[in-house]
């Protein structure tokens, strides 16, 4: 079974993949630096755009489940807009930070690949390309099936993925940024010619200034590019009707005509068929 830990709460139990799961390790390690690492991600603009999209497709209620919530950046704008938020993340370190920011939200530890019944929600989000962390088709199927099970009648699911153009650009290059007490280095290991559906890897080194000295952590992040047809097929298999796929050229902009070569993300909105 998945671990479900409200914060503050009981000591975490291991899920079936255990504490040695590489995704959990990567995000537990990155958690202290995650907000610095994603400092230029404008969730304050992006989430209102997603809310408008959901409203256009009939969203009326205000019960939200945010799957793979990280440190809370993907749900805080909705909480501030009056939504009742439940959130979960595989990483206890991520979930702990999210809970500390948002006492009004119910933040839990749960693996999106093994989502237990968390409630009936008007909208379920799974953002920041969390689905790209799924490397196998059965993981994608199980995650989407778990999301579908959380939807109240008429509820909507919203998720996004990295496009091939972003995977090729990001995972084939390096970048560094100094942000406050943090100095973050991203090192991609792929090539610009990576094929559709490929698994790619990057390493994130986060240096933290402590007086006159520095500490360093290194996390390994693997992602798979998911072609549009495979995502649509997986959604259909678990009983999700994809209503629209939008392209995102940059933060908070959503365009009706999705283009794998031009957009950095695809944003999906679906409901149970």
Q: List the pLDDT tens digit at each of the 273 positions of the chain.
A: 333 344 433 333 334 566 789 999 999 999 999 999 998 899 999 999 999 999 999 999 999 999 999 999 999 999 999 999 999 999 999 999 999 999 999 999 999 999 999 999 999 999 999 999 999 999 999 999 999 999 999 999 999 999 999 999 999 999 999 998 999 999 999 999 999 999 999 999 999 998 889 999 999 999 999 999 999 999 999 999 999 999 999 878 899 989 999 999 999 999 998
3-state secondary structure 48-113: HHHHHHHHHCCCCCCEEEEECCCCCCCCHHHHHCCCEEEEEECCHHHHHHHHHHCCCCEEEECCHH
Domain with CATH 2.20.25.110 in the chain: 165-224
Q: Give the 3-state secondary structure of residue 268.
A: strand
Give the pLDDT score at 203.
96
Cβ-based neighbours of 45, under 8 Å, separated by 6 or more: 251, 252
Second CATH level (architecture) for the domain 22-162+227-272: 3-Layer(aba) Sandwich (3.40)
Q: Are strands 199-210 and 84-89 parallel, antiparallel or unpaired?
A: unpaired
User: What token pair was written down for 128?
Assistant: 């920041």
* Span between the terminal Cα atoms of the chain, in Å: 27
Give the residue from 158, 27, 175 showing the smallest Cα distance to 91.
27
| CA–CA gap between residue 171 and residue 135 (Å, rounded) | 15
Residue 132: HSE in the Cβ half-sphere, 13 Å Cα cutoff? 29
Specify the domain boundaries for CATH 3.40.50.150 within the chain: 22-162+227-272
3-state secondary structure of 137: helix
Phi and psi (nearest 5°) for 49? -65, -40
| Predicted local confidence at residue 17, as pLDDT | 66
- How far is C-alpha 173 from the chain's CA centre? 22
Q: Which fold has domain 165-224?
A: N-terminal domain of TfIIb (2.20.25)
- Per-residue pLDDT at 18: 67
């Amino acid at each position: 079974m998945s671990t479900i830990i409200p914060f503050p709460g009981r000591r975490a139990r291991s899920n079936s993949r255990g504490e040695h799961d590489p995704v959990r390790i990567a995000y537990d390690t990155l958690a202290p630096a995650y907000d610095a690492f994603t400092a230029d991600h404008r969730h304050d603009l992006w989430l209102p755009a997603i809310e408008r999209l959901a409203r256009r497709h009939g969203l009326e209620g205000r019960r939200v489940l945010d799957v793979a919530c990280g440190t809370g950046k993907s749900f805080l704008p909705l909480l501030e807009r009056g939504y009742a938020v439940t959130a979960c993340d595989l990483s206890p370190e991520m979930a702990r930070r999210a809970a500390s920011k948002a006492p009004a939200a119910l933040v839990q530890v749960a693996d999106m690949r093994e989502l237990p019944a968390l409630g009936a929600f008007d909208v379920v989000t799974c953002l920041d390309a969390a689905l790209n962390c799924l490397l196998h088709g059965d993981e994608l199927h199980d995650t989407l099936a778990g999301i579908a099970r959380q939807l109240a009648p008429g509820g909507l699911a919203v998720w996004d993925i990295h496009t091939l153009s972003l995977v090729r650009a990001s995972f084939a290059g390096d970048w560094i940024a100094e942000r406050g007490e943090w100095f973050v280095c991203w090192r991609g290991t792929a090539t610009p010619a990576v094929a559709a559906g490929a698994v790619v890897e990057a390493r994130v080194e986060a240096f933290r200034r402590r007086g006159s000295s520095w500490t360093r952590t290194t996390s390994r992040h693997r992602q798979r590019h998911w072609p549009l047809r495979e995502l649509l097929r997986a959604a259909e298999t678990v009983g999700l009707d994809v209503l629209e796929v939008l392209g995102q050229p940059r933060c908070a902009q959503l365009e009706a005509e999705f283009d794998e070569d031009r957009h950095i993300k695809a944003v999906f909105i679906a409901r149970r068929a």
